[in-house]
Chains A and B, each alone.
Chain A
Amino acid sequence: MFRHPDVLAGAVTLALGAALGLASFFIDINPNQTTLTARFVPLLIASILTLCGGGIIINGLRSASQPMPFLFSRKLLIVASFLLAFFLTFAFVDFRVSSWLLMLSTMYVLGNRNWRQLLWVPVAVSSVIYLIFRYLFEVILPVWT
């Protein structure tokens, strides 16, 4: 569909600029201001993004055809979904449990089959990080009490 990655990248940049420009018109203006309004910089940024997007598209069209960058592998999608689950549930699950589970599952998915490492590394990492944050830096991480 796109003969060069820059055509897609430029189109997204251009669309982002247009969306930002449109959203800028919904910013309220304080009538008592004696300087530039709150809309000015967002509109300026929107214009720059739109112009850059257009320029990147033109560069892409003028360049020799190139394949799209390799974005996903099966492993990356699985790890990304683990990560999303970890971050989404971060405040609700005991940090020691969630970090242990993330370490174990990610190490396994990424190809580690050494059962000794799978046993001790996740336990060690989750415990050490918890202890460092909790007692050295006095940061309260989510725990089940």
Chain B
Amino acid sequence: MDLISGADISWAISHIADPMVLLILIGGVTAGVLFGALPGITGVAGIAIMTPLTFTMNFEHAMALLLGAYCGGYFGGSIPAILINVPGTPTNAATALDGYPMARQGDADKAIALAVLCSCIGGLFSALVLSTLAPSLAKVALQFNSAEYFGLAMLGLLCVAGVSGDSLLKGIAAAALGVGLSTIGVDPVGGTMRFTFDISYLIAGIPIIPALIGLFGITEMFTKTLEIESFKISVLPPQNKFRLRDIIPIFLRNKMVTFKGSLIGTFVGVLPGTGTAIATWVSYGEATRSAKPGDIFGKGDPKGIIAAETANNAVTGGAMVPLLTFGIPGDPVTAILIAALLVQGIDPGPFFIAEYGNLFIFILLTLVLGNLFMVTIALSTRKLFRYFVKLRGDTLVPLIAVMSAAGAFSINNSTYEVMLVVILGMVGYFMLKFGYPMAPIVLGIVLGPIVEDNLRNALAVSDMNPMVFITRPISAGLIVVMAIMVGFWVYIKKRTGPNSDPADSS
């Protein structure tokens, strides 16, 4: 931990204790929980819409809002999954498997309390891992040069392309489209224009935040409009009374499930491009694999919720590791965070912890407090959730549109960003309907410049010798990892037939 001094720690503690920061953090957690709890709306869309609001804030306030929403959003998705069996994302589908049967048996309160406490444990565990792993990895990252960064960014793109969609080819095409969009504007090396078509707005390129709002917010809005007629909410039976202290024996009986869920979530989060859906399903799968006689997975077993929710929020700290050590975002939320950090004039990467040790500690403390606030807010207001999830789709659809437009306009007070949101939203909708995932496009836009700059730099310093990517051991290792991954996906594809989904199979 010699990258971080005592002064950094005291700076972070004094700033996190600022009442305004705490207030914004509570606001961020609440907003994240609310966005996640809206049936069919993901926490990612909420964070994308909120990001422009941070442009007028300082670093502490911006991080408090976004990291609060990050923690709250992942848990919030479990609320509609438990209460109305509508998992907003594949991530929360695992929670719905046992959460909804519990709610049908009159134990909705117990299921929600269990979900939020597990989310908190997972989040705190991953923050602990972040605090120990990130400084060590940052030291390793200081040895990296352009060849390694090119390899890492390519690995991130390949991972997200491989695991986030219905087919590897569509995932790769989506990632390529994202990188292609990132090339619009002035070429940073030669200074020539690329794909600007004499439109002055395009000279600066495609800004990431409107792209995120369009690809996640507007795309979801269109999808929801189409589904609105089939969207039915069933009524739960009268609910049992529940005391919070009844939870403790459940945790004591399931210590290993809690630990394994936290570990799996953190580890999956560290891998670039993976995300919460894989973490929760791997953790749930592990819990069912080690089931004991009497376990009733899928019929209202608390173990199912523990496995899914610990892994779910454990991803938050894990996904911050590649962001804060290599400057490589691992999922759409950390892609948003990288954009928010750049707006604050902070370049996340190998020098981040060495240069901004105080901000690193501040981020850690924000994650820890965010998780604790999430528990407090969710437990004290859990009885209100059953009313909130009944918010009608006809209100949600225009609400997303209004907030997306206001958020996009606030970036530069310009209609360019507003139009970009709607255009990318429409493109995203068609792509989604034809099975193209959104996450690789976003990661492509963010990682595109990193890929291109490092590819060109690596070749420039090696007199255009492409062997530079093979002769450097870490770069060669990354290429081998990518080759193994592609080989594995192709093998799975061949074993399971042409129509199967390699991502699902893996």
CB of A99 within 8 A of CB of B176, answer: no
CB of B228 within 8 A of CB of A110, answer: yes
CB distance from A123 to the nearest CB of B (A): 13
Cα A83 to Cα B191 in complex, Å, equals 37
Residues of B within 8 A of A23 (CB): 195
CB of B190 within 8 A of CB of A112, answer: no
CB of B225 within 8 A of CB of A79, answer: yes
Asked whether any CB of chain B lies closer than 8 Å to the CB of A15, the reply is no
Residues of A within 8 A of B436 (CB): 9
CB of A56 within 8 A of CB of B392, answer: no
Asked whether any CB of chain A lies closer than 8 Å to the CB of B169, the reply is yes
Binds A, one of B117-125, B179-187, B280-288, B312-320: B179-187
Asked whether any CB of chain B lies closer than 8 Å to the CB of A18, the reply is no
Within the complex, which residue of A30, A34, A133 is in contact with B192, where a contact is CB–CB below 8 Å?
A30
CB distance from B453 to the nearest CB of A (A): 10
Binds A, one of B86-94, B427-435, B468-476: B427-435
Within the complex, which residue of A30, A121, A139 is in contact with B191, where a contact is CB–CB below 8 Å?
A30
CB of B430 within 8 A of CB of A71, answer: yes
> Which positions 46-73 of chain B face chain A at CB distance < 8 Å?
52-53, 56
Task: Decide yes or no: A111 and B222 within 8 Å by CB, A59-B167, A69-B434, A103-B402 being known contacts.
Answer: no
Count A-B contacts at CB 8 Å: 187
CB distance from A108 to the nearest CB of B (A): 8
Within the complex, which residue of A8, A46, A80 is in contact with B222, where a contact is CB–CB below 8 Å?
A80
CB of A52 within 8 A of CB of B192, answer: no
Number of chain B residues whose Cβ lies closer than 8 Å to a Cβ of chain A: 66
CB distance from A113 to the nearest CB of B (A): 10
Within the complex, which residue of B177, B183, B452, B455 is in contact with A49, where a contact is CB–CB below 8 Å?
B177
CB of A139 within 8 A of CB of B399, answer: no
> Which positions 47-83 of chain A face chain B at CB distance < 8 Å?
48-49, 52-53, 55-56, 59, 62-64, 69-73, 75-76, 79-80, 83
Q: List 26 A-B contacts (CB under 8 A).
A: A20-B180, A27-B187, A27-B192, A33-B189, A35-B459, A36-B459, A42-B180, A45-B177, A55-B169, A56-B173, A83-B218, A84-B422, A87-B418, A90-B418, A91-B409, A99-B402, A103-B398, A106-B397, A106-B398, A110-B228, A110-B397, A111-B228, A125-B398, A137-B410, A139-B53, A141-B406
Chain B residues near A (Cβ < 8 Å): 52-53, 56, 167, 169-170, 172-173, 176-177, 179-180, 183, 187, 189-195, 218, 221-222, 225-226, 228-229, 392-395, 397-399, 401-403, 405-406, 409-410, 413-415, 418-419, 421-422, 426, 430, 433-436, 448, 451-452, 455-457, 459-460, 464, 498-499
If A73-B229, A86-B405, A87-B421 are given as contacts, then 19 extra A-B residue pairs at C-beta distance below 8 Å, sorted by A number, are A8-B434, A29-B192, A34-B460, A35-B459, A35-B464, A42-B180, A42-B183, A52-B169, A59-B169, A75-B229, A86-B401, A90-B405, A91-B409, A91-B414, A102-B402, A106-B398, A107-B394, A137-B56, A139-B406
